[in-house]
Amino acid sequence: MNSIEEKIIRLRQELTTYNHHYYVLNESLISDQAFDGMMKELEALEVQHPEFADPNSPTQRVGSDHDQNFKQVKHQYPMLSLSNTYSEAEVRDFDARVKKVIGDAFQYVCELKFDGASISLSYENGVLIRAVTRGDGEQGDDVTQNIKTIPSIPLKLMGAAFPEKFEIRGEILMPFRVFENLNREREERGEALLANPRNTASGSLKLQKSSEVKKRKLDAYLYYLLGDDMPEEGHFENLTRARSWGFKVSEHMALCATIEDVLAYIHRWNTQRHTLPVATDGIVIKVNSMHLQRQLGNTAKSPRWAIAYKFESERVVTRLNSISYQVGRTGAVTPVANLDPVQIAGTVVKRASLHNSDIIQNLDLRIGDMVWVEKGGEIIPKIVGVDKEARILVSPPIAFIKKCPECGTELIRPEGEAAHYCPNGLGCPPQIKGKMEHFISRKAMNIESMGPETIDLLYREGLLKDVADIYEIKQENIVALDRMGEKSATNIIESIQQSKQVPYERVLFALGIRYVGATVAKKLAMALKNIDNLMHAGFEELISIDEIGDRIALSVQAFFKDEKNILLVQRLKKSGLQFQLSNEKQEQQSDILKGLNIVISGTFQKYSRDQLKQMIEDNGGKNTGSISKMTSYLLGGDNIGPSKLEKVKKLEIPMLSEDQFLELIGKQ
Ligand code: IVH
């Protein structure tokens, strides 16, 4: 190696070490001046010797002045959320649920729940390759360039004992001190103040210029590792390892042997958290052992092996002036409280959701009452109580409206439900528009170039009365709208045309049948193949489908009982939308793997891991994350991690090669 190159490498290593000590370990090894001097020297050498450039050099953290577009990236593992509780009793319930499944020989890990913007970082061979925001949990924005400016996030890992490929998740935070300084500067410039550190952190990640992100002085704590080849069996132990690779892992995480220890941790941090430099909104309690985590598994939204205990949030008192009612896409009528404006957690609050009439009744709310309003991590504040002693003039109890505020139809309240509904689904304006917005949304027909404003305009012009009208709209109708150019009109027409190819399961989701979300729509489509079968399916047939319960079955039947919905489907069919499962999908399906749990590991020649996973599911099997007694097969490719191989041997689990697997499902 030539001596210039050696010098460059040495400077990079030294600067990386100083940086790690300063931003992660909170100790400085050299003066700022000496650090800056070395950085300048490295910058100069890199300019003179572009042949030794490295995108992960410490000089690359400065950010750029160029605007960027954030690419949408699908998460390899969806980013789940945590189930929340504010009560200790529910923490004990969680403990009981966990013990019922895994017995009582295990430990918990308690961690602080950081209140920032969640991020998923991917590393390969010790190098940061991608940073993606949570987004909708399935896919997020690629914000790698912005993340690289955060000094506590390692661009290259230390040592060599990390897995070849893994993801690490955590929270991007703006420390209180930085937030306050930023707001002070804004105040001096007469600019609007930022609401809170959390929103500011997540807003900062989406700034167009990474050089601006650097100025935001963000920090990051990491708390969750994902990958096939973790070095340790325990979450705590893995995070401790991650700390040695250079990540900032909170030193306050603790192992707890009993639920009493967990509660003691909660009590301690309920007050001590006020001494922390960053925002926290609770404690996360996790089962430590990774194989027990897998045994507990996940629900659709959150893991069963973890729970978040949230701290009581800030509360203020204000006056309830009136109640208005909002009608959503499903016809559900939500009461909204109009309040005297009041500051909570840095934002002005004027309205609060009351959810349903039971809540109004239980609170025994009266107009003019002084009410307690709380704003936790949630965006929408809520009324949590009434100061009854402050009542002077007592107004009568609030009577929930009887008629839809938008169309005048008499409201109904289905048995067993808390919500009131306007049943005029096909004639009530906010429901019609809401249904159309859902219909065109990304996960449905994906005609997003149309947007809610266009829908609103077309609806008001009388050109769109229901979703079937979308396919009858003409280019000139759109051009005639205010502020609509020829080009945007063409885009809209094109994406309407393209949406005719959207597969049946998404069309079914787009119809907006109550309780039929994207996953349920998929199950129904797979099981019954086409809309005619679905339309005529009896209750028993529906509930015999995996994951379809009474509530969904009744809702599907109610939908198709309505003549107007049948007509709508017929019109959509005529327009050429897909109302049956594609041949390809039908052929791909079988029950061959029913009851089998298959783990995929390694790299493959013919198909990607995602494709193999899909094939397992299409053939009735289950793709599980890790090897346990329950595993039926390991579908193994090249380079399976040694720890996995050992486990397979120990548990005597049969292995399948890619070809053997394809043969098994009749694809070869
Ligand atoms: S674990 C599968 N640990 O809370 C769950 N999450 O409501 C993985 N969060 O999206 C998350 N501190 O943004 C975990 N110590 C911690 C956390 C934490 C904050 C956030 C995270 C997550 C949300 C869940």
pLDDT in tens, 184-215: 787 666 566 676 788 889 999 999 889 999 99
Q: Quick one: pLDDT at residue 583?
A: 84
Token readout for 609 is: 């891991």
More confident residue, 347 or 362: 362
- What per-residue confidence (pLDDT) applies to 193? 62
pLDDT tier at 426 (50, 70, 90 boundaries)?
A: confident
Q: Which residue's CA is the nearest one to ligand 1's atom 10?
A: 81
Using most ligand atoms within 8 A of CB, pick from 223, 243, 294 the residue to mutate for ligand 1: 223
Amino acid at 53: A
Strand order from edge to edge, sheet including 655-656: 622-624, 597-601, 633-636, 655-656
Report the separation in Å between the CA atom of 82 and the middle of ligand 1, taken as the mean of its atom positions: 7
Tokens, residue 46? 């890199």
Q: How distant, in Å, are the alpha carbons of 151, 249, 279, 284, 343 from that of 223?
A: 17, 7, 15, 10, 32
Average pLDDT over residues 603-628: 85
Query: Is residue 250 pLDDT above 70, yes or no?
Result: yes
Atom of ligand 1 nearest to the CA of 84: 7
φ, ψ of residue 169 to 5 degrees: the values are -115, 150
Closest CA to 425 of 332, 497, 324: 332
When pLDDT is averaged across residues 414-422 and rounded to a whole number, the result is 84
- Residues of the chain with pLDDT > 90, as a percent, come to 61
> Buried (b) or exposed (e) across 600-633, using 16+ Cβ within 10 A?
bbbebeebebeebbebbbbbbbbbbebbbeebbb
Distance CA 502, CA 496 (A): 10
The rounded distance, in Å, linking the Cα atoms of 258 and 136 is 34
Distance 353 CA to ligand 1 centre (A): 25
pLDDT at 377: 46
Q: Which two tokens stand for residue 658?
A: 């890619």
Separation of alpha carbons 263 and 261, rounded Å = 5
Cβ atoms < 10 Å from Cβ of 203:
14
CA–CA separation, 256 and 252 (whole Å): 12
Question: If you measure from the C-alpha of residue 400 to the centroid of ligand 1, how many angstroms do you get, rounded to a whole number?
Answer: 38
Task: Give dist(CA 352, CA 342) in Å, integer.
Answer: 11
Q: How far is the CA of 223 from the centre of ligand 1 (A)?
A: 8
Residues with CB under 6 A from ligand 1: 80-82, 111, 113-114, 118, 171, 223-224, 284, 303, 306, 308
Calculate the CA 150 to chain-centre distance: 22
Instruction: Pick the range with the lowest mean pLDDT from 95-99, 161-165, 613-617.
Output: 613-617
2-55 tens-digit pLDDT: 799 999 999 999 999 999 999 998 888 888 888 889 999 999 999 999 999 998
**pLDDT value of position 190:** 58
Residue 64's φ and ψ, nearest 5 degrees, are -130, 160
Catalytic residue, candidates 113, 148, 156, 375: 113
The CA distance from 356 to 354, in Å, is 6
Active site residue 113: yes
Q: Count other Cβ atoms within 10 Å, centred on residue 462.
A: 8
Does residue 479 contact residue 498 with C-beta atoms inside 8 Å?
A: no
pLDDT at 275: 85
Mean pLDDT, residues 486-513: 94
**Which residues are CB-neighbours of 633 under 8 A, at least 6 positions away?**
596, 598, 599, 653, 654, 655, 656, 661
To test the ligand 1 pocket, which listed residue (171, 205, 293) has its Cβ within 8 A of the most ligand atoms?
171
User: Which is the closest atom of ligand 1 to the Cα of 112?
Assistant: 15
DSSP code of residue 60 = G
| pLDDT, mean of residues 144-168 | 95
What residues form DSSP beta bridges with 372?
317, 385
Secondary structure letter of residue 140 according to DSSP: E
Axis-axis angle for helices 451-460, 429-440 (nearest 10): 140
Whether the Cβ atoms of residue 637 and residue 601 lie closer than 8 Å to each other: yes
Task: Give me the pLDDT at residue 621, please.
Answer: 85
Distance CA 124, CA 667 (A): 32
For 270-296, how does the pLDDT look when each residue is reduced to its tens digit (9 = 90+)? 888 878 999 999 999 999 999 999 999
Write the residue with the smallest CA distance to atom 9 of ligand 1: 113
Q: Cα torsion for 93, 98, 101, 102, to the nearest 10°?
A: -140
Paired tokens of 176: 């209180």
Give residue 256's Cα distance to chain centre: 28
CA of 307 to the centre of ligand 1 (A): 9
Determine phi and psi for 321, rounding to 5 degrees.
-90, -40
**Residue nearest atom 21 of ligand 1, based on CA coordinates:** 118
Please give the pLDDT value at position 378: 43
- Residue of minimum CA distance from atom 3 in ligand 1: 223
Q: Which residues contact 558 (CB under 8 A, 6 or more apart)?
A: none
d(C-alpha 461, C-alpha 265), whole Å? 60
Atom of ligand 1 at shortest range from CA of 80 = 2
In angstroms, the CA 212 to CA 143 distance is 13
- The atom number, within ligand 1, closest to the CA of 171 reads 13
- Distance from Cα 113 to the centre of ligand 1, integer Å: 6
Q: Both tokens of residue 7?
A: 């010098």
**Ligand 1 geometric centre to CA of 182 (Å):** 26
Q: What is the pLDDT of residues 526-574, one digit of tens each?
A: 899 999 999 999 999 999 887 788 889 999 999 999 999 999 999 999 9
Question: In testing the pocket of ligand 1, which one of 86, 118, 249, 262 has its CB within 8 Å of the most ligand atoms?
Answer: 118
